Each structure stands twice: as structure tokens, then as C-alpha cells.
Chains A and B, each alone.
Chain A
């Protein structure tokens, strides 16, 4: 075949585009077609449950009975409910203290793990263990550790060291129970923070530290002016996630205290479940769950704007 004639021949015989091809040549149609699966998935798995939850919060639906629209009645009741306010307080307290604990210890651990040390990989893998173990399993372990009669901590203090005469009643009164749960949450959350921050630490160029050393910077100054600012973007993201995970925690509290003693350790998530499912008040449970949204939005915006949106990240120097 003559090489010069072949393209002409092919060009002339090309069939006209089909209707389908012409439709998909349209940019708007193509965009819609590509977005549709994602929009569909989001609608089914995110918008619908969220919308249903918000709808239920404005009804008096109970388990086994369709409810009627009651406006803000559920929210008005919650405003007068001391147990709800107790859950609000503890959710904020739990999240604040646990987050501070997790980030303090997590950052310290990340800095340690970032040093050159023997068996570094094995140690890093071990550090991840609390994060890998299913939450309910670790909750049951803590439940045993906090048991009023059989706690290993009490055993060590009372029978081994002789520092106390009686067992510690970890879960039997308000504040010890709250701090016991916070301790369990910190233990469980540290690996996530530590490994995430370690990843951030490893992106910092060693040349910055070398330059600082030449300038005679102390370890604290190197941390203050290099490590911390460079770590801030990832810190903001990890903190945002950590706050959300901690504020919406359910398994640890439900498995260890079920919200007791006398409702003092209910988080909004556990109270929503308690009222909605065992208590049968689906509308009230949904209202409690919906009331978590403003807190989560605030926490997210705070950590995002306060920590992530700094001018230096856009090359305009640190504010």
C-alpha cells in the first residue's frame, strides 16, 4: 500500500460519531457523568443517614413506633436535662484533656523515635500495637485493670509495694472514673499521633538542623524555630482528626463504664445511644447526636484555622 494515500483513505471512511459519542463529547455531560457515582455514594452513605438523623431529631419517634414532627421539643427537653449537660461537659473535658495528653506524649514519642537507635523498625512496630488492637479488646483489658476488686494496679500498690491498705476504686466514683477513661483513651490514641508526627518529622530537611547548629542554636531553639513550625501543618491535620475521634468516642466508654457511675462518664455519643436504642427514644437520641455537630464543626474550624492556615505555608513568612 502506498504510504502517502493511506491516511487520506482512512480519513474519508471514518464513520460519523455516534449519538453516545457526541453526548460524551459535551463537557457538561462528561462532568456530570463522572461526578454522578461519587454524588450517588455520598448521598446514600452520608447525606441520607445525616438527613435522617436530623429529621428524627425533630420527631418523637420511638423504637417500634413512627413519630410525629415535634419541632424543637427534643432540644428544649435536653436544655433542661442535667444528664445531657453533664455529657456535654464530659465530652468537652474528655476531648480536651485526652487530646493534650495524646499530643504531649505522642510528640515526645515521635521525637524519640526520630532519633537513631538500634531496632528502630521493631520499636516503631511495637508502638503501633495499641492502635492495632481492636478497641473493645483494649477496653476490656482496661476494665480489668480498673476493677475495684481485681485491679492489677491495686494489687501492685497494696500487695506488692504495700503503699496502700485498700484497693483503688477506679470506676466507683465520678472523677476517678473520668480520669480512668481519659487514661485509657490517651494510651489508645498515642500511636496514631506519634506515628503521624514521626512521618512529619522525617520530611524536615536535615540541612535546616545543620544550619541551626552552625548558628549555635540550642536543642530547644531548634525545636522551637525548626521542628515545631515545620510540623505544624501535619499537627493541624492530626489534631483535627484526633479531636473528632475523641469527641465521638463510644466503644471505650460503653465497654468500661456504660456511662456510669450515675451518668458521670456519659459522652454525647454514648448518651445518644443509651437514650435512642435501649431507652427507645429514637428522636431524643438523634437530637443528642445532632447536638454534637456544632461542637465538631467548631473543633474542626478551630484546629484548621488556628494551626493550618498560616501565611508561611503559602510562602509569605510566619505570622
Chain B
């Protein structure tokens, strides 16, 4: 079955009525919908990470049901745990069987680049219609050094600083300093008043990697040089690790054992007063009467810039992939495009309360960013210049080094006193070189 331009227009008109307010806010150019000739009898199976909030799943399923209603293509969506999605993608990629589409994280398309259907036409259409793709979306969506899109970014979750205003004020600061020295003084002052900061240094997918990346990038260090060589063993990295020794002394105990939810729990129980996290922490505090007062006292601020030109924060990106083994690649492309259309995407964006930030510029006008001033900072998450593997090409090597916590463990070994900064940087270089030994 084909989705014709006429059908798309009718479908769009119908859904516009349903989401009038949202659609008015989203500026869309008058770009004709490509005619993906949907295969006869097409059915699709999709895997995606489990919901962050209940409406995420409800709206996503509803959007897929609307695609079925419009095209007759049955869509089955399976929601799997965040840790499991990588494993299931690996099995799918290796066996050449399984779901037609997977929404994976970050650099997944670059690991399975040879197994994926190119989606340049989908990206070109969406980009033209919705004000262009954001920087991080282009970085993760395109195969390095080409204009060929191998993934369609769905959004990214930011991890800025989350802090208790009362504690920071009590420590003698009105806001968060943007330089290393000032930031260290703030953390030391927080420790002195027994309202300590704390950042995950355990094998934590989001928060652990987020903190380690910020630390190294804010000193000008990087895992990968522009030319793709391993660049972690540098003067900048050693300076960052020396700084960490002082910073770590201010942390709440136990951060080296922290997983991704540990800082949420500590913050919610008044054990922790400054950390970095997605918007989930704020909303869980806000929606629970027992912790609403903490939410009212909570602020979000970009991570200190340090020596970088902008705050070094790479969003955790969702990336839609169509696998070559799919018998219905056109149907899969049509589904990806359909889900990114304003009538579907904006309600989904709003349902996520700002947890996922948009990859297309036009969605910057979504009502979700005006729903709560404390959420608006997440709006520009995908404008960042930083990404896993910064500042080199994204490859299987960057994905593997990130998944093996090379940067996190380098930081943790220094913080715990197990290694000197120089030795930790050398060890990180050795591990990273292994992952990059045959990858461009």
C-alpha cells in the first residue's frame, strides 16, 4: 500500500483538528510528503526503550495505531528495558532477524551501519519541513563524513545540574559558578554545611558517563581526536583528573558505587544537594506530595563551562533504525516519518514533560517548554557540540568505549586513590586503543 501525498495531507488535516493548540505552535514548511511505496501486506515490528512516564507509552502506541488506521500497516511495538535494548539490538544486528525497526541509543546506528537501510530521504523531508535538524541530531544520524543518514534521531535527554537553591544560597552562592575554581569552592562550601554534592562514578550508563564526559571535556580533554585517534592520555585529561581529586573530596560517600538511580534517591531523601540528572528527578519530586517542597527548592542549570566554549553536556539520544533484513523497508520509513510529523510528535513530546528534547528546530515552540520554567533549560539539549567520541568521528569504537565505561573508570580510579591521574589516563588510553584498533 502507498501513502500518497493526498492521504498524508488528509491524515495531517484530521489530526490537526485533534491537536489544534500544539499544531499552531509548530511551524511546518509546505514540503510535499515523499511517496514511500508501502509494500503489499506490510506489517512492522518495532523495539524501543521502555517509557519514562506512562503517557510516553500511551501516546506512542496511539500514534502507531493512527499509522495503522491511515495505511493498513499493522505495527507491533515492544518496550524493553534501557539496559536490554543494546543487547537485543546486538542480537538483531548479528543474526539479521528480528524487529524491522529499533529505536536505540546514541551511537547504535554507527555500530550497525552496514546492517541498516539508509534513511536520507526521511531525514531530508523532515529537515526541510520542520526547520532543519539540530546539531546533535545530525551528528548521530549521519554516517561520519557523509550526508547519508543511517538513523532518525527522536530526541535526547539532557543531564544538567540539579541543585537545591536553599543549600547553594546557604553556602554563600546565588547561582552555580561557570568556572572550575568557583565550582570547586561551591562544592567545598556545600560539604562544609553538610549539604554535599555528589555525582555518579559507578558503572552508570547515563549519569556516570555524563559526569566523566563533562569533567574531561570541560578541561579541553577528549577521548578521540579529530582524526579518529585515541586522545585521552593528554595534559588536559591529567589536569581534569587532578581537579577531580579535590572535587571528589566534597562528594557524599558512596558515589563510586552509584548506578543511574542512586543520585535520584539520595537527592529525594535530603542526603544530596547538587547533582546532574534528567528532568525525571524534578518531576518525580514535584508529583509526590511528600517531596513537593524539595521540587519547589530545586533549580536546573547547565553544567559549568570550565575551559570549554559552551557547557559540555551530551544528551542521551534516541535513534530510530530500519534494518536491512526488514521485508518492508518503505513501510518502516513511512512510519518513522509519520511519528515525527507535528500531529504525532508534538503530543508525544508534551507527554514526556521535557524528558526528551526535540531533534528538529521547529519543535522548539512546543508548549512543553512553556509548561514549567524549570523545564525550559532542557529545550536546547540537542544544540550541543558534544557527543560520545567528541571530537572525532562516531564509530563502533566510541560506542564500545562508552559501553565499557572507559572514561568513568578512569575518573573513579583517581577519585578512589587507586591510580594517579597519569596512570589512569594511560590505562584509559590502553583500553580505548583496543576498541579503536581496527575501527576508523
Contact = CB atoms under 8 A, between A and B. Distances in A.
A266 B254 CA distance: 18
A173 B416 contact: yes
A260 B418 CA distance: 13
Interface in A1-55: none
Given A60-B438, A275-B404, A177 B257 contact: yes
A148 B90 contact: no
Interface string B98-126: 00000000000001101100000000000
A159 interface: no
B296 interface: no
Contacts of A257: 202-203, 257
B253 A167 contact: yes
A63 B93 contact: yes
A116 interface: no
B409 A262 contact: yes
Interface in B234-272: 252-259, 262, 265-266, 269, 271
A174 interface: yes
Interface in B68-94: 86-87, 90, 93-94
Nearest to A67: B438
Contacts of A177: 257
B438 A281 contact: no
Nearest to A82: B427
Interface string B412-438: 110010100000000100010011001
Given A258-B259, A262-B409, A281-B400, A166 B253 contact: yes
B90 A63 contact: yes
Given A260-B412, A278-B86, A150 B269 contact: yes
B83 to A, nearest CB: 9
B413 A169 contact: no
Given A148-B257, A258-B202, A262-B256, A280 B416 contact: no
Contacts of B156: none
A280 B266 CA distance: 33
- Which of B203, B256, B257, B409 counts the most chain A CB atoms within 10 A? B257
B403 interface: yes
Given A64-B93, A64-B94, A64-B111, A260 B203 contact: yes
Nearest to B112: A64
Interface string B363-392: 000000000000000000000000000000
Contacts of A261: 201-202, 256-257, 412, 416
A167 B196 CA distance: 15
Nearest to B437: A60
Interface of B: 86-87, 90, 93-94, 111-112, 114-115, 201-203, 252-259, 262, 265-266, 269, 271, 396, 399-400, 403-404, 409, 412-413, 416, 418, 427, 431, 434-435, 438
Nearest 5 CB-CB pairings of A with B: A148-B254, A171-B257, A278-B403, A258-B203, A64-B93
Given A62-B400, A63-B93, A281-B434, 14 more contacts: A63-B90, A63-B94, A64-B114, A82-B427, A148-B255, A149-B254, A149-B262, A149-B269, A172-B254, A257-B203, A260-B256, A260-B412, A279-B403, A280-B403
26 contacts: A60-B438, A63-B111, A64-B94, A64-B112, A146-B257, A147-B262, A148-B255, A148-B262, A149-B271, A150-B269, A169-B253, A172-B416, A173-B416, A258-B259, A260-B202, A260-B203, A260-B256, A260-B257, A260-B412, A261-B202, A261-B257, A261-B412, A275-B404, A278-B86, A279-B435, A280-B435
